[in-house]
């Protein structure tokens, strides 16, 4: 077989690699299926199921935790919200753009 491989083009080798990968996946699936059937049979002999022994087949995926909204400290003339003052702002601009929430807090 080695001689045959050395005479093949790269495209031919890639084609064979895809076929080999598919066959490996098929055989692995078959092996796992046989193992599952054997375990299910043994579980039935003990009067139980694999779900009862090992839990549910798959756990429901939980939704990601929502991120906390960013605190708005400044709102400029265009309505854009800022979490902190822009580096070029003067103290007067910072005071002017301070959000209403921040003004009410006394910050």
Q: How many structural domains does the chain have?
A: 2
| Residue 89 within any structural domain of the chain | yes
> Range of 89's domain?
74-105
Q: What is the pLDDT of residue 46?
A: 92
8 with 44, same domain: the answer is: yes
Is 78 found in the same domain as 50? no
Distance CA 72, CA 80 (A): 10
Asked whether residue 64 is domain-assigned, the answer is no
Beta carbons within 8 Å of 40's beta carbon, 6+ residues apart: 49, 50
Domain annotation covers residue 11: yes
The CA distances from residue 40 to 37, 46, 47, 58, in Å, are: 5, 10, 10, 17
Q: 45 and 78: one domain?
A: no
Convert the pLDDT of each residue in 31-85 to its tens digit.
999 999 999 999 999 999 888 888 876 556 677 777 877 787 888 788 888 777 7
Residues 8 and 46 in one domain: yes
For the chain, the farthest-separated pair of C-alpha atoms sits apart, in whole angstroms, at 83
How far is the C-alpha of 103 from the C-alpha of 95, rounded, in Å? 9
Tell me, yes or no, whether 80 lies in a domain: yes
- Enter the tokens of residue 3: 């001689």
CB 54 within 8 A of CB 43: no
pTM confidence score: 0.43
Position 43 in a domain:
yes
Whether 81 is covered by a domain: the verdict is yes
């Amino acid at each position: 077989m080695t001689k045959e491989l050395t005479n093949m083009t790269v495209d031919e080798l890639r084609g064979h690699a895809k076929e080999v990968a598919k066959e490996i996946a098929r055989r692995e699936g078959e092996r796992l299926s046989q193992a599952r059937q054997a375990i299910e049979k043994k579980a039935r002999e003990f009067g139980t199921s694999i779900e009862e022994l090992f839990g549910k087949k798959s756990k429901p995926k939980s939704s990601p935790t929502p991120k906390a909204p960013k605190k708005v400290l400044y709102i400029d003339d265009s309505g854009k919200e800022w979490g902190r003052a822009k580096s070029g702002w003067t103290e007067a601009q910072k005071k002017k753009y301070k959000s209403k929430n921040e003004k009410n807090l006394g910050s």
